[in-house]
Structure 1
Amino acid sequence: MTDRPPSATDVLIVGAGIAGASLAAVLAPWRRVVLAEAEDVPGYHATGRSAAFWHETYGGPYVQPLTLASLETLLNPDPAFSDHPFLSPRSALTIGRTSEAAAVDAFVAEFQAKGVDVERMSGAAVATKIPRLRPEWSEAAYEDACRDIDVGGLHAAYLRAAKRAGALLATRAPLRKARRVGDGWRVELGEEEIGAAVIVNAAGAWADEVAAACGIAPRGIQPYRRTVLQVRLDVAVPAELPLVIHVGGQFYFKGESSGRVWLSPHDETPSIAHDVAPEDWDVATAIERMQSVVDWPVAAVERKWAGLRSFAPDRIPVFGPDPHEDRFIWCAGQGGFGIQTAPAIAGLLAAQLGAPPPSGAIGRVDPLPFAPARFT
C-alpha cells in the first residue's frame, strides 16, 4: 500500500483511476478521504489505456453537457492545480460513405440543436482534410474544437491535488467485503479493515462486483473490450490529422506523429472484468477498416493494446447515491468518455458528498439524469 489506511474515514473511494482520483481531489478539502486501488499503481486499466481525446459529440447528446462543462478545467486549469493546459489542438471529422449522407445530416442536426459548433461538409471539402481519402467517403461533419488530452498529466494532477488536500492513497488494496455497521461501513480492504461513513464505487469494470461485495444490487455495469493500435505507414500523414470517426461507429483513427496513426475498430466485445489483451482479429479488423477509408499502406504495427470500457444499460454515466442505500455512492459507467467528463462528474458528485456546489459551467449541469435511481 502507498499509505496504510486509518482506522476510519469519512469517504472511502474504491478505484483510483480518473473517476476516483478526480473525485478525491475535489472532495478531500472538505472530507476525510481514502482512495483505495486494487492494483500496484493507480490508473492501470481504463485510464492508462485511453485514446486520449476530448470530443464534444463523443458519447452522444446525453454525455455532451458533461463534456462541455469539463472544457474550462481542462483548457484553463487553476494555476494551483496545473501550470499548463491538458488539451492541445486537434479537430474531428465524423464521416460516412455517400450512402450514409442522411446519417451525417441527422448527426449534424442533433448536435447543432444543442449548440455544438459542427459544420456539414461533403465532396472535395472532406478530401482536403484527409490525405488519399477514397472517393466514396464523401460525407462528413467537421468540429474544429476537438482536442487531444494529456491523460497521464491530468490523472497525475488529480492525484497530487488529492494528496495535498489530505487524501490517503492505498494501493494493492482491493475491497473484499463491506458490511453496514451503525451509521457507516466496516470494510475489508486488502489485509486491513477500515471504517467508512460512505463508500464511493468508482471501480470501473469492477463496479458491479464491488457493489455485490457490499450487499448492494448491481446496476448492470457491463465491461466491453476496446482495441487500439499504433501503426507506421508507408506514406506521409501529418500528425495534426483530424480525429476521424465513422458516423456508424465502426472505427476511429488519428495522427500520432509523422507517418504514424492510432486507430481502433471501435470494438465492443462483452467481457468479464480482468486485465484484457488485444485479439489478433480485432487488430486486423482495425487496419482493414482504416484502409477501406484511405489509401495508406501499413508498414508495421508498432504497438497494440486493449482496455475495458464500461457502460450502464442506457450507456449514460451513473453517479449519485444508490436508491436503496444512501451511504453507497455510484460513480461508474463512464464508457470511453470518462477522461473528458471527469471534471464535471467530480464536481457534481463532490457537492452531493459535502463539498461546495460547483460554479460556472459545471454548476449549470443537472445531475438528475445520471442518478442511479433512474433504474428503479
Structure 2
Amino acid sequence: MTRTCDILVVGGGIAGISAAARLAPDARVTVLERETAIGYHATGRSAAIFIANYGNATLRALNAASAPELAAPDFVEGSLLSERGELLVATEAEMPALERHLAESTGVEALTPAEALHLVPVLRAELIRGAAIERAASDIDVDRLLQGFARLLQAHGGTIVTGAEAARIGRAGRVWRVETAAGAFEAPVLVNAAGAWADAIARLAGVAPVGLKPLRRSAALLPAPDGRAVERWPLFAPVSETWYARPEAGKLMVSPADEDPVAPHDAWADEMVLAEGLDRFERMTTVRVTRVERSWAGLRSFVADRTPVVGFAPDAAGFFWLAGQGGYGVQTAPALSWLAADLVLGRQPRMPPAVVATLSPGRPGLAAGR
C-alpha cells in the first residue's frame, strides 16, 4: 500500500527532523530514515559545541539566528546550551592567523600565553605566543535537541519511518514517489536532507547533484591527563585547527581535525590518521597518549563554497535541498529548520534575502561542484 502525505523528508538526522518539526503544524509530513534510529550518522557523532564565530559570513548569520532558540527553545524545557568556551592558541608562525581571527570575530578576547596556560595547564608554555578565547562558546545537548524536535514533529501528527532506505525515486505528474523496504510513499514535495547521501538521493531522483563531498572527521577519547579535573577546561585548539580537544564526561576527546574525502558510508576512524593527529596534539601539550579508550568518526559534507544548500532545485519541481551543512549542522539547525519551512510553505523567510540567496541551490558557486 502506498502512503501519501504533503511533504516527504528523506533523512532523519538533525536537519531532516528539525525541518519536519517546523513543517508539521501546517502540513502532513513523513520522515524516511534508512537506519533503525534517527541521528545515527553525523548528528550522533557531532562535537556538539556552539561557536558563534565558526564558519563563513553566511554560517555566522545562521549561528546568530540559532543562538536564541538553543538558549531558550520552544520545544524542550530549559536551555540546550551549557558554558564551555573555545580557546585558540598560536605558535610564533601562527600569530598572523590569530590576529586575523581576532579582527574578523565578535565576542572574542585576546589572552596572554600565561592566561591560556591558566585555563589549560597542559599546553606547552614554550610554544605558545598568543591566544584568544570565545567565552560564550557552549556545549549543545544534541540528544535533547534531536529528540525535542522529534517529539514536536509527532505532536503535530508527523511520522518517522525508520529502516526506510530509498531504493527508487520517481515523479509522476506533480507527485514524488519513494519506494523503500518499509513501503512506498508519495508527496508533492520531497525534502532531501540525506546528509552525506544527499547527492546520491538527487541522482536517484534524476536531479542534478550539487557536488557534495563527504569528509571524514575522526576523534578519540583519552583518559584525563595525569588524573586532572578537566571538566572546566574550554575546548582548546591551535588557531590553524590541526587538532582540537575538549572535555567529555571527565575525559578528554581529541580530534585530528581531519577532512579526508570518502564515499558516503558508516564512517570509522582511520588508525594512521588518528595517530598522526594525536602526535600533533602531543607536540603542543605535555600529555603523553598511552591509551585510547574509544575512537570513532563521522562525515562532514560540504559543497564547493562550504555553505549549506537550502531551497527548491532549479531543475526539478517539488525537490527541495537541505544539505551541505558540513560541521555546522547541529548549531545551525534552529535557523535552517525555520528557513526550510518558510521556503517549502511559500512564506516570507525569516532570514535576510542576501543570506537566503547565498544558500540557494541555483547559486553560481555550485556549478563547479556538479
Q: Which residue of 2 aligns with 1:340?
A: 331
CA 1:107–1:234 in structure 2 vs 1: closer, same or farther (change >3 Å)?
A: closer
Q: Secondary structure at the match of 2:188?
A: strand
Q: Which residue of 1 aligns with 2:343?
A: 352
Match of 1:288 among 270, 279, 290: 279
Q: Which residue of 2 aligns with 1:146?
A: 137
CA 1:365–1:146 in structure 2 vs 1: closer, same or farther (change >3 Å)?
A: farther
Q: Secondary structure at the match of 1:263?
A: strand
Q: Which residue of 2 aligns with 1:210?
A: 201
TM (norm. structure 1) is 0.92
Q: Which residue of 1 aligns with 2:95?
A: 101
Q: Deviations over 1:65-87 (max 9, x none)?
A: 11111011111112xx1112111
* Deviates most, 20-29 or 228-237: 228-237
Matched, 1:126 2:116: yes
Match of 2:239 among 240, 247, 260: 247
Deviation at 1:336, TM superposition (A): 1.1
The whole-number CA distance in structure 2 between the counterparts of 1:326 and 1:65 is 28
Matched, 1:59 2:48: no
The answer on whether the counterparts of 1:251 and 1:265 sit within 8 Å (CA) in structure 2 is yes
Q: Deviations over 1:166-189 (max 9, x none)?
A: 111111111122222111212213
Richer in helix (by share): 2
Q: Secondary structure at the match of 2:221?
A: strand
* Deviates most, 139-148 or 60-69: 60-69
The whole-number CA distance in structure 1 between the counterparts of 2:216 and 2:252 is 20
The whole-number CA distance in structure 2 between the counterparts of 1:327 and 1:265 is 40
Q: Which residue of 2 aligns with 1:31?
A: 27
CA 1:132–1:187 in structure 2 vs 1: closer, same or farther (change >3 Å)?
A: closer
Matches within 5 A, 1:305-320: 305-320=296-311
CA 1:327–1:145 in structure 2 vs 1: closer, same or farther (change >3 Å)?
A: same
The whole-number CA distance in structure 1 between the counterparts of 2:168 and 2:219 is 34
The whole-number CA distance in structure 1 between the counterparts of 2:56 and 2:130 is 19
Q: Deviations over 1:27-68 (max 9, x none)?
A: 100011010000111111111111111111222333111111
* Deviates most, 346-355 or 5-14: 5-14
Q: Which residue of 1 aligns with 2:258?
A: 267
* Deviates most, 210-219 or 87-96: 87-96
The whole-number CA distance in structure 2 between the counterparts of 1:367 and 1:273 is 27
Deviation at 1:286, TM superposition (A): 2.7
Q: Deviations over 1:309-364 (max 9, x none)?
A: 111111111111111123100000111110000000000110011175566xx578
The whole-number CA distance in structure 1 between the counterparts of 2:277 and 2:143 is 25
Q: Which residue of 1 aligns with 2:85?
A: 91
Q: Which residue of 2 aligns with 1:198?
A: 189
The whole-number CA distance in structure 2 between the counterparts of 1:144 and 1:233 is 22
The whole-number CA distance in structure 2 between the counterparts of 1:50 and 1:170 is 23
CA 1:186–1:257 in structure 2 vs 1: closer, same or farther (change >3 Å)?
A: closer
* Deviates most, 36-45 or 225-234: 225-234
Q: Which amino acid aligns with 2:49?
A: F
Match of 2:15 among 4, 14, 19: 19
Match of 1:187 among 167, 173, 178: 178
Q: Which residue of 2 aligns with 1:373?
A: 362
The whole-number CA distance in structure 1 between the counterparts of 2:176 and 2:224 is 54
* Deviates most, 363-372 or 237-246: 363-372
* Deviates most, 185-194 or 83-92: 185-194
Q: Which amino acid aligns with 1:189?
A: T
Q: Secondary structure at the match of 1:301?
A: coil
* Deviates most, 347-356 or 363-372: 363-372
The answer on whether the counterparts of 1:69 and 1:365 sit within 8 Å (CA) in structure 2 is no
Deviation at 1:6, TM superposition (A): 5.9
The answer on whether the counterparts of 1:30 and 1:355 sit within 8 Å (CA) in structure 2 is no
The answer on whether the counterparts of 2:13 and 2:40 sit within 8 Å (CA) in structure 1 is yes
Q: Please, which runs of 5 or more residues in structure 1 have no aligned partner?
A: none
The whole-number CA distance in structure 2 between the counterparts of 1:86 and 1:72 is 10
TM (norm. structure 2) is 0.94
The whole-number CA distance in structure 1 between the counterparts of 2:335 and 2:353 is 10
Deviation at 1:104, TM superposition (A): 0.5
The whole-number CA distance in structure 2 between the counterparts of 1:246 and 1:367 is 32
Q: Deviations over 1:117-149 (max 9, x none)?
A: 111223322222210321212222211100001
Give me the CA root mean square deviation. Answer: 1.8
CA 1:225–1:201 in structure 2 vs 1: closer, same or farther (change >3 Å)?
A: same
Deviation at 1:105, TM superposition (A): 0.5
Match of 1:256 among 248, 251, 262: 248
The whole-number CA distance in structure 2 between the counterparts of 1:338 and 1:55 is 12
Deviation at 1:97, TM superposition (A): 0.7
The whole-number CA distance in structure 2 between the counterparts of 1:336 and 1:131 is 28
Q: Which amino acid aligns with 1:27?
A: L
Q: Secondary structure at the match of 2:277?
A: helix
The answer on whether the counterparts of 2:191 and 2:320 sit within 8 Å (CA) in structure 1 is yes
